[in-house]
Amino acid sequence: MNFNALVQAMTPDTYEKLAEAVATGRWADGNVMSDAQRQHSLQLVMAYQAQVLKSDELFTIGADGQMVHKSKAELKKQFDTQPSIARFSHDDL
């Protein structure tokens, strides 16, 4: 199986487990990942983000294969256009 086919065949659950392992440096059972395992898992996570999720979130790889960088102003604009969340003043609490 080639790399792209592997990425396309990966389930969302597998992606989540790999992403968690890369972030923590440990497998779900607590065993420490080797450097090679972490590097390969990171490649799979980034490829999945680019090819399957087509993510445009901060610190991900876009569909074009390039690192997505968003400025503070871009993030603020993105959050301003999304539905508002509940906000409370100090006196309301």
| Residue-wise pLDDT tens digits, 47-56 | 888 888 876 5
Helices (H) and strands (E) in the chain, counts: 4, 0
Nearest to 19 by CA among 2, 4, 33: 33
Structure tokens at 70: 């968003």
Q: What is the mean pLDDT of residues 74-88?
A: 66
- Block residue for tokens 């409370």: 88
Q: 3-state class of 55 per DSSP? A: coil
The 10s digit of each residue's pLDDT in 21-43 is: 988 899 999 999 999 999 999 88
